[in-house]
């Protein structure tokens, strides 16, 4: 959504924190244009910000770093602890890794690099607000409980999501059979760690086959949850998920293609946002369709793993998709989220088999390939037949090695839990495509 009202009719409450009066005023003026955003307070110091946040309970806090009395990092820590529903966005002059690290550890959810364009400002506010929905729901339930119930809930958290980092990663290919499910199941498996909760959701609603790939027999599926999406409860959710012997949690697709008609894209989006509150990574397998569901999933995704094969039809379809990504900037810049992957690569010496060289694909699409997964018929097929992800069996041989490396690339790209980090390897001015209105400058 852009400058209209929100579907829930609520406004996003924003608190502006900066010690420079002009900056505060510029931000306030810019936000005044947006019907779904309301500035509920402005503060000139970190200490003032903490006091004001307790009072006005903002949804989003725009936080400067260098300020007198209490710096932005310390204030972020205090606000994140006291007002759990407030998502802090750090504003700094440069995306300095050291500052960002400290900000992440303090609980910041995103950052903006000055000068900030109006589009970046609006998009970031809406993104962090949407991603905080599970926390708002949890707090709303807590506040409707008695004190005794709250204490009990803190110990056992019945029906409550335990907070997770909630990185949503969507796997997509515009080409059928490109290897999306193979990559989704393997990356999900490789991301699992004792301290990392991973959920794999099959959003290929008509012909989803994650259950086949993982040899799962599910009695329940996503439609059991989307039916009651307004009244979700983690206990019910847990009973619908299936657990692979490796411990990976899976939400399967409807068992029959026609049942997909009962699942609305909006409900899937609400469900995924809710689940993001309880898992560190949510991996989503999709169909090749570019429809309302895929678009909604792209919007809420933190990263889109775009899968292409080294063949002319696949490269052509990928080109079409990248063109679409380049034009969609609201509510999120899709193009920036893309992690481009080639599946079924072959040794350059064997290229006679009609494959397009990787360098030509990169040149043509003007995209760097972040992972190359080799063609290995036997290994991949055996793994599918056994229902065990390749990476769970061997990690040091192709293509398991490359799949595990892709998982690590994703882990690094999204940063430590709790923070949605943009790709800082690309300078902000190259990342932006919308008209930049340099409203802020100067110090951080
Ligand atoms: N790197 C690879 N090497 C060899 N075989 C592969 C590789 N990747 C995928 N395959 C095989 O290709 C087939 C299609 O893969 P997969 O089902 O993952 O593709 P998909 O993009 O999810 O397809 P769909 O469009 O049907 O959802 C499977 O049989 C899988 O085992
Ligand atoms: Mg598939």
Residue range 166-191, pLDDT digits in tens? 899 999 999 999 999 999 999 999 99
List the single range of 332-341, 367-376, 391-400 with lowest mean pLDDT. Answer: 391-400
Has residue 434 got a pLDDT over 60? no
How far does the centroid of ligand 2 lie from the alpha carbon of residue 321, in Å? 17
Contact of 399 with 371, CB cutoff 8 Å? no
> Is the CB–ligand 1 distance for residue 399 below 6 Å?
yes
How far does the centroid of ligand 2 lie from the alpha carbon of residue 198, in Å? 19
Model pLDDT, residue 287? 98
Dihedral of alpha carbons 287, 131, 10, 435, sign: negative
In a domain, 155, yes or no: no
Give the CA-trace dihedral at 370, 244, 213, 344, to 10 degrees. Answer: 20
Has residue 18 got a pLDDT over 90? yes
Model pLDDT, residue 142? 65
> Is the CB–ligand 1 distance for residue 375 below 6 Å?
yes
For the chain, give the mean pLDDT: 85
User: What residues are neighbours of ligand 2 (ion), with CB under 5 Å?
Assistant: 180-181
Contact of 62 with 17, CB cutoff 8 Å? yes
In a domain, 152, yes or no: no
The stretch 77-100 carries a mean pLDDT of: 82
> Is the CB–ligand 1 distance for residue 177 below 6 Å?
yes
Has residue 364 got a pLDDT over 90? yes
49: confidence class by pLDDT, cuts 50, 70, 90 = very high
- Which ligand 1 atom is nearest residue 285's CA? 22
Has residue 422 got a pLDDT over 50? no
Q: Which residue's CA is minimally distant from atom 10 of ligand 1? A: 179
How far does the centroid of ligand 1 lie from the alpha carbon of residue 241, in Å? 24
- Cα dist from 408 to 186, 402, 415, 418, whole Å: 12, 10, 11, 17
> Is the CB–ligand 1 distance for residue 309 below 6 Å?
no
List the single range of 7-11, 207-211, 265-269, 426-430 with lowest mean pLDDT. Answer: 426-430
CATH number at residue 322: 3.40.50.300
Q: What is the Cβ-side half-sphere exposure of residue 311, based on CA atoms within 13 angstroms? A: 15
Asked if 351 and 236 sit in the same domain, the reply is yes
Asked if 80 and 225 sit in the same domain, the reply is no
How far does the centroid of ligand 2 lie from the alpha carbon of residue 128, in Å? 30
Q: Of 193, 201, 195, which Cα lies nearest the Cα of 170?
A: 201
In a domain, 162, yes or no: no
Asked if 253 and 361 sit in the same domain, the reply is yes
> Is the CB–ligand 1 distance for residue 204 below 6 Å?
yes
What CA–CA distance (Å, rounded) separates 94 from 384?
46
Model pLDDT, residue 311? 95
> Is the CB–ligand 1 distance for residue 381 below 6 Å?
yes
Domain region containing 24: 12-135
Count how many domains the chain has. 2
Asked if 40 and 114 sit in the same domain, the reply is yes
Q: Of 189, 239, 234, 236, which Cα lies nearest the Cα of 210?
A: 189
What CA–CA distance (Å, rounded) separates 384 from 361?
28
The stretch 141-158 carries a mean pLDDT of: 50
List the single range of 26-40, 63-77, 93-107, 150-164 with lowest mean pLDDT. Answer: 150-164
Has residue 37 got a pLDDT over 60? yes
Has residue 163 got a pLDDT over 90? no
In a domain, 151, yes or no: no
**Which domain-ending residue is among 116, 135, 154?**
135
- CB contact set of 262 (below 8 Å; sequence gap of 6+): 223, 226, 227, 254
- Which ligand 1 atom is nearest residue 184's CA? 18
CATH number at residue 49: 3.40.50.2300
Q: Which residue's CA is minimally distant from atom 4 of ligand 1? A: 377
Asked if 267 and 360 sit in the same domain, the reply is yes
Contact of 389 with 383, CB cutoff 8 Å? yes
Model pLDDT, residue 158? 40
Dihedral of alpha carbons 37, 108, 441, 123, sign: negative
Give the DSSP letter of residue 374: E
**Which domain-ending residue is among 115, 135, 155?**
135
List the single range of 73-82, 187-196, 334-343, 435-444 with lowest mean pLDDT. Answer: 435-444
331: confidence class by pLDDT, cuts 50, 70, 90 = low
Contact of 235 with 159, CB cutoff 8 Å? yes
Q: What is the pTM of this model?
A: 0.64
What CA–CA distance (Å, rounded) separates 372 from 354?
17
> Is the CB–ligand 1 distance for residue 317 below 6 Å?
no
> Is the CB–ligand 1 distance for residue 102 below 6 Å?
no
Model pLDDT, residue 271? 94
Strand residue runs (E) in 390-438: none
> Is the CB–ligand 1 distance for residue 176 below 6 Å?
yes
What CA–CA distance (Å, rounded) separates 228 from 235?
13
Q: Which of 282-291, 377-386, 406-415 has the highest mean pLDDT?
A: 282-291
- Which ligand 1 atom is nearest residue 204's CA? 27
Asked if 185 and 226 sit in the same domain, the reply is yes
361 in helix, strand or coil? helix
413 in helix, strand or coil? helix
> Is the CB–ligand 1 distance for residue 85 below 6 Å?
no
Strand residue runs (E) in 337-389: 338-345, 371-374
pLDDT tens digit sequence for 341-363: 999 999 877 665 678 999 999 99
**Which domain-ending residue is among 113, 135, 157?**
135
- Which ligand 1 atom is nearest residue 176's CA? 25
pLDDT tens digit sequence for 97-139: 777 777 877 788 888 988 899 999 999 999 999 888 877 876 7
Has residue 297 got a pLDDT over 50? yes
């Amino acid at each position: 959504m852009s400058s209209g009202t929100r579907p829930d009719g609520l406004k996003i409450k924003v608190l502006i924190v900066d010690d420079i009066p002009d900056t505060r005023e510029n931000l306030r003026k810019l936000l005044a244009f947006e019907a779904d955003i309301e500035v509920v307070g402005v503060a000139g110091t970190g200490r003032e910000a903490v006091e004001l946040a307790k009072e006005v309970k903002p949804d989003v806090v725009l936080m400067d770093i260098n300020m007198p009395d209490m710096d932005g990092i310390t204030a972020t820590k205090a606000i994140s602890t006291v007002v759990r529903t407030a998502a802090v966005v750090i504003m700094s002059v440069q995306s300095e890794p050291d500052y960002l690290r400290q900000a992440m550890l303090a609980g910041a959810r995103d950052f903006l690099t000055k000068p900030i364009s109006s589009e970046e400002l609006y998009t970031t506010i809406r993104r962090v607000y949407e991603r905080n929905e599970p926390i708002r729901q949890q707090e709303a339930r807590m506040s409707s409980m008695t004190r005794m119930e709250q204490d009990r809930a803190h110990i056992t958290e019945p029906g409550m999501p335990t907070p997770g980092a909630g990185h949503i990663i969507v796997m997509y290919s515009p080409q059928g059979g490109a290897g999306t499910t193979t990559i989704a199941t393997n990356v999900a498996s490789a991301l699992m760690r004792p301290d990392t909760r991973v959920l794999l959701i099959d959003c290929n609603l008509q012909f989803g086959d994650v259950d086949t790939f993982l040899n799962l027999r599910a009695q329940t599926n996503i439609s059991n949850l989307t039916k009651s999406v307004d009244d979700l409860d983690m206990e019910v959710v847990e009973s619908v998920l299936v657990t692979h012997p490796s411990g990976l949690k899976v939400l399967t697709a409807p068992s029959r293609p026609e049942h997909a008609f009962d699942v609305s894209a909006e409900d899937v989006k609400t469900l995924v946002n809710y689940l993001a509150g309880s898992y560190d990574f949510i991996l989503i397998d999709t169909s090749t369709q570019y429809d309302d569901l895929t678009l909604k999933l792209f919007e809420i995704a933190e990263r889109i793993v775009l899968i292409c094969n080294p063949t002319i039809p696949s490269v052509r379809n990928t080109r079409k998709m990248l063109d679409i990504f380049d034009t969609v900037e609201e509510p999120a810049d899709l193009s920036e989220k893309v992690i481009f992957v080639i599946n079924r690569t072959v040794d350059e010496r064997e290229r006679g088999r009609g494959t397009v060289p990787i360098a030509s694909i990169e040149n043509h699409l003007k995209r760097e390939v972040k992972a190359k997964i080799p063609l290995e018929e036997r290994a991949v097929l055996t793994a599918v037949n056994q229902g065990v992800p390749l990476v769970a069996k061997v990690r040091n041989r192709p293509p398991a090695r490359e799949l595990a490396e892709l998982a690590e690339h994703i882990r690094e790209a999204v940063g430590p839990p709790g923070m949605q980090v943009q790709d800082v390897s690309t300078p902000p001015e190259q990342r932006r495509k919308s008209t930049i209105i340099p409203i802020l400058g100067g110090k951080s």
